[in-house]
Amino acid sequence: MAFSISAFSGHSVVRADGELDVSTAPQLRQTITTALDEGDGKVIIDLTAVTFMDSTTLGVLIGAHNRVRELGGALGLVCPDDRVRRVFSITGLDKVFTLHDTVPDAAAALA
C-alpha cells in the first residue's frame, strides 16, 4: 500500500494504491489529514489504483467527509473500478459521496 499527495487544478489529491483495510486505514487517515491541513479544504481522494477496500476504510472516508464539511471545504472521490464502487453502492454511501471516473472530473465538480 502506498499513499501520496499531489496537486491538480489547485486541489490536493490523495492517491491510494493497493488494498485499503484495517491495517492501512490509519495511514490513509493521516495522509488525508495532512492534505487538509496543507491545502485549501478541497481534497480529491483518488481510489483508481485501489484493489480492495473494507469497512474500516469507509469509516475513514466518512470521517474525512465530516471534517471537510466542518472546514467549509469539499471532498471528491475518484473511483472508476466497478468492484470498489459496489462497496459504496451496497452500503448506501453512493448517496453520500459523488463518485467520479477521473481526477479532472472530480476537480471540475469541486470548482
Residue 54 structural domain: 2-106
> Per the domain annotation, does 67 fall within a domain?
yes
Residue 38 lies in a domain: yes
The predicted model gives 27-42 an average pLDDT of: 92
- Residue 85: partners with Cβ closer than 8 Å, 6 or more residues away: 79, 94, 99
Q: Is residue 91 part of a domain?
A: yes
**Grid cell locating 59:** 469509516
pTM (2 d.p.): 0.94
Domain of 73: which CATH number? 3.30.750.24
pLDDT tens per residue, range 35-55: 999 888 899 999 999 999 999
pLDDT at 105: 97
Q: Is residue 111 part of a domain?
A: no
Quote the pLDDT of residue 41.
86
Domain count across the chain: 1
Q: Report the side by side order of strands in the sheet with 99-100.
A: 2-8, 11-20, 42-53, 74-78, 99-100
pLDDT in tens, 51-106: 999 999 999 999 999 999 998 999 999 999 999 999 999 999 999 999 999 999 99
Per-residue model confidence (pLDDT) at position 44 = 97
Residue 70 lies in a domain: yes
Q: What is the pLDDT of residue 1?
A: 78
CA 38 to CA 81: how far, in whole Å? 28
In a domain, 27, yes or no: yes
Q: Answer with the residue of higher pLDDT: 41 or 30.
A: 30
